[in-house]
Structure 1
Amino acid sequence: MTDFSSIDPQSMATQLAGFDVQTLQSQLKTQKARLAAQQNALKALKSNLTDFRTSLTNLNKSSSGMLKTSASMSVENMAKATTTSDARKGTYNLFIQQLASSHQVAYDGLKDDDVKNATGSMNIEINGKSIAIDMDGVDSLAGLAKAINGMDGNPGVTASLVRTGGEVRLMLSSDKSGAENAITLTGQPAAMNSVSTISAAQDSIVYLGDPQNGGMQITNSTNTLTDLIDGVTLELNQTHKAGDAPLRINVGVDTTETQAQVNTFVESYNKLITALGALTSSGSSSSERGAFAGDASISGLRRELNDMLRTSIDGLDITQFGLTADKDGKLTLDSDKLKEKLTDDPGKLNALFNGSNGLLRKMDKSMDRLLSSATGDIKNREETNRRRENELSDRSDKINTRYDTAYNRYLQQFTRMQSVLQQMNNTASMFGLV
């Protein structure tokens, strides 16, 4: 008689329970792989769109557009000039008569005991705003400085202790330069009436042109001039002496940097178009089918961007600046044609790309349909994928539960079978049948 005692209930239960859920597990594996591919494709799409939008933002900043300009000086270090895309080429003469400075005063001979014995209020006023320090609560120079700096409503004055020649002096400094920010002290105790001016409160004074020949005078509370020349910010460093020739400032187009900006746009755009093409490809014998093949929303964005490149904005189009698009929508740049246009009419480059109705703004807006954090298509797809992921996780748990149930059932059955077979073997052995 055959000996069935070698049957392993656990192995048999594992094998049969696996057969029970094999089809379900295979389906689940396929569904998980498909979902993972969709999630990876969506991440790639989002990454490419975000990179392109970041590039558009950098190329369309309020202080800097596609057109790059620069300024050179006839004398170094007298002033520093920075330019934006709004700067127009030209030559400007500037005579710097006076630099702006902040008001600074220091108390003469004021000691800790003088402060400690002082009574009443110390009033500090700057540009119509004032504070009153109660001297009864202050007992030292350091304490007075702390009280001034920590006072609510401080009008813009900083108190500090300076040490010179073995003497400690209390100094008050206006936080802002210019004549309107002069420090006014009133109501001080007698011991605090001796005050020396360290730095006068004064505006910068410059002349556009030669001051001796009808130059236009400009005053400013700081040494930074932002409105004197359109698109040019000047930081004044030194003054002229009487009879000096004015500082000559030459503003012009930086062709190299402008071309680099245009190339950045071309590279960013071509990278996005290539990515969208791969994601929406219908596939062929030599290429894989894209994860979003046939997707109307993503294919629509690609067509929309392509159409934007081929439309005219205020009579301007990209071909005037040496840009052309091939049948796939990818751009190429003719540098010589761009340079020619920058020489003739550089401002038109910003008008096309950076205007209120410019190409960069239009392209950025087209991204909203997919990238909007509130209603964007990508956000909705991500939420759908998360729900699908949870559903597959629940299904996996149910399959595991089904497997466990089947395993326990088979284990009980084969354990009982093994017990019965063992009894049969024992009985057969008694009769000499084994």
Structure 2
Amino acid sequence: MTDFSSIDPQSMATQLAGFDVQTLQSQLKTQKARLTAQQNALKALKSNLTDFRTTLTNLNKSSSGMLKTSASMSVENMAKATTTSDARKGTYNLFIEQLASSHQVAYDGLKDDDVKNATGSMKIEVNGKSIAIEMDGVDSLAGLAKAINGMEGNPGVTASLVRTGGEVRLMLSSDKSGEENAITLSGDVPDAMKGDKISTISKAQDSIVYLGDQATGMKITNSTNTLTNLIDGVTLELNQTHKTGDALLRINVGVDTTETQAQVNSFVSAYNKLITSLGSLTSSGSSSTDRGAFAGDASISSLRRELNEMLRTSIDGLDITQFGLSADKDGKLTLDSDKLKEKLTDDPGKLNALFNGNGGLLKKMDKSLDRLLSISNGDIKSREETNRRRETELSDRSDKISTRYDTAYNRYLQQFTRMQSVLQQMNNTASMFGLV
């Protein structure tokens, strides 16, 4: 008789239980691989769409569009100019008569005892706003400075202590420049803070600039040294003043062709990258190419067609071909730099008219992405939620398969353990009769 005592119940149970769930595990593995591929493809789609939207946003800022401009100065360091896309080509002459400054005063004779002996309420006012300092509760210069700086509703005045020649002086400074921000004191003001005991360190004054020469030009006053409304699209920061007889400051505003071309190339690169990605994700596949994860997906294919159609439509009589842009049969863009430069020379403002603003091409393209990218009801958000539910389902199925495996394993282990015991008894009996 054959000796079956060598049977290993654990090995047999493991093998047979594995056979029981083999098909289910294979199906689960395939489903998990398919889900992972979909999740990765969705991440790639979301990333590419988000990158494209970021580029559109950067090219369509309220302060900077596709058109880049610059300004040069005839005199260095007299002023600094920054420009936006709204700046128009031209030459502007300025005479800077006066710079704006903040009011700053010091009280030379004011001592701790003057403050300690003061009574009543002292009012400090700046540009129509004021605070009242109750002098009865203040006993030193440091205490007065602390009371002013810590007062709720401070109108924009800072108190500080200055130490010179072994003496301490109280100084009040307006936080903002301009005549309207002068510091005035009223009410119960200590005598040591009145009249000729006040040293004016800096006057409260506006900047004064003439568009043109000082004698016949247009006078402009401003509370600060930053002028934003003097020249459209140009912000000027004044640094120095003219002396009588000095040559005017000449500002030349023009198109920065190199930077503008870089802006257009940025759009071209971002668009082509997105179109390539969409094409790959929706590819139907062939003998030499893989089938895309979203092949046949109507929503994504629709976006690609919509973006392609936008490039071929005109806005207020303008289209991309006028600026050297053209699309090939696959929808990818190329730029003719010479044609762009020619258009920028003739009529640079039209570039912004086509691309920028709420009615421009960039805004329209950005809006078309909402269908997929909206965080409230976008298609990608919906797909992500579906994938998460599917991931949970597959995890539950994996747990059930594990439970089924454990049940089968325990059943087979019991069966083969009993079989081994029976066979062992049979071998022992056969041995008694000399049959083995």
Q: TM-score range by the shorter chain?
A: over 0.9
3-state SS in 2 of match to 1:252: strand
Does the residue aligned with 1:424 lie in a helix, a strand or coil?
Answer: helix
Give the TM-score normalised by structure 1. Answer: 0.98
| Structure 2 counterpart of 1:411 | 413
Answer with 168-177 or 374-383: which moved more: 168-177
Deviations 1:15-66 (A, max 9, x none): 1111111100000000000000000000000000000000000100100000
Pair 1:57 & 2:60 matched: no
Distance 1:12 1:136 in 2: 98
- 1:245 is paired with a residue whose SS is coil
What secondary structure, in the 3-state scheme, does the structure 1 residue paired with 2:131 have?
strand
Which residue of structure 2 aligns with residue 152 of structure 1? 152
Please give the per-residue CA displacement for 1:67-109, whole angstroms capped at 9, x wherever unaligned: 0000000100000000000000000001000000011111213
Match for residue 169 of structure 1? Answer: 169
Q: Which runs of 5+ in 1 are unaligned?
A: none
User: Bigger CA drift: 340-349 or 148-157?
Assistant: 148-157
Q: Does the 8 Å contact 2:122/2:134 carry over to 1?
A: yes
Between 1:66-75 and 1:103-112, the stretch displaced more is 103-112
Residue 213 of structure 1 and its aligned partner are, at CA, apart by 4.1
Q: Secondary structure at the match of 1:306?
A: helix
Q: Match of 1:358?
A: 360
Q: Deviations over 1:348-403 (max 9, x none)?
A: 00000003311001000001000000010000000000000000011111111111
Gaps of 5+ in 2: none
- Alpha-carbon separation, structure 1, partners of 2:225 and 2:282: 56
- Taking the TM superposition and a 5 Å limit, the aligned residue runs for 1:34-433 are 34-188=34-188, 189-192=190-193, 194-210=197-213, 212-433=214-435
Deviation sequence 1:295-318 (CA, Å, 0-9, x none): 000000000000000001000000
Structure-2 separation of matches of 1:118 and 1:420: 113
Deviates most, 307-316 or 412-421: 412-421
Residues 60-69 or 135-144, more deviating: 135-144
Deviations 1:255-312 (CA, angstroms, capped at 9, x unpaired) = 1110111111111100000000000001011100000010000000000000000001
Q: Partners in 2 of 1:408 and 1:119 — Cα distance?
A: 96
- Structure 2: distance between partners of 1:76 and 1:123: 44
Q: Which moved more, 1:145-154 or 1:252-261?
A: 145-154
Q: Is the 8 A contact 2:9 2:417 kept in 1?
A: yes
Shift of 1:422: 1.7
In the aligned structure 2, how far is the partner of 1:116 from the partner of 1:61? Answer: 56
Contact 2:96–2:209 (CA under 8 A) maintained in structure 1? yes
The separation in 2 between residues aligned to 1:153 and 1:247, in whole angstroms, is 41
* SS, match of residue 213 in structure 1: coil
| Pairwise CA distance, 1:420 | 1.5
Aligned-partner Cα distance in 1 for 2:419–2:197: 112
Secondary structure of residue in 1 paired with 2:162:
strand
1:112: how far off? 2.7
> 1:190 offset after TM fit, Å?
2.7
Change (3 A) 1:139 1:428: farther
Q: Which deviates the most, 149-158 or 162-171?
A: 162-171
1 CA distance for matches of 2:176 and 2:215?
A: 32
Larger mean CA deviation between 168-177 and 381-390 belongs to 168-177
Q: 1:28 is matched with which residue?
A: 28
For residues 231-252 of structure 1, give each alpha carbon's deviation from its aligned partner in whole angstroms, at most 9, with x where no partner exists.
Answer: 0000000000111121000000
Write the distance in 1 (CA, Å) between the matches of 2:116 and 2:28: 84
Q: Bigger CA drift: 259-268 or 423-432?
A: 423-432
Aligned residues: 433
Across the aligned residues of Structure 1 and Structure 2, the Cα RMSD in angstroms comes to 1.2
- 8 Å Cα contact 2:107/2:192 also seen in 1: no
Give the match's secondary structure for 2:201.
strand
- CA distance in structure 2 between the partners assigned to 1:132 and 1:181 by the alignment: 17
Q: Using the alignment, how far apart are the partners of 1:418 and 1:104 within structure 2?
A: 104
Q: Is the CA contact 2:99–2:240 (under 8 Å) kept in the aligned structure 1?
A: yes
- 1:194 Cα deviation (Å)? 3.1
- CA distance 1:116–1:3, shift in 2 (3 Å): farther
Q: Distance in 1 between matches of 2:164 and 2:417?
A: 99
Change in Cα spacing, 1:430 to 1:113, as seen in structure 2 (3 Å) is: farther
Post-superposition Cα deviations, 1:117-165, rounded to whole Å, max 9, x if no partner, equal 3222221101111001122222322222222111111111111122222
Q: CA deviation at 1:191?
A: 3.8
For 2:57 and 2:98, the matched residues in 1 are separated by 39
Distance between the aligned counterparts of 1:428 and 1:161, measured in 2?
114
SS class of match (1:235) = strand
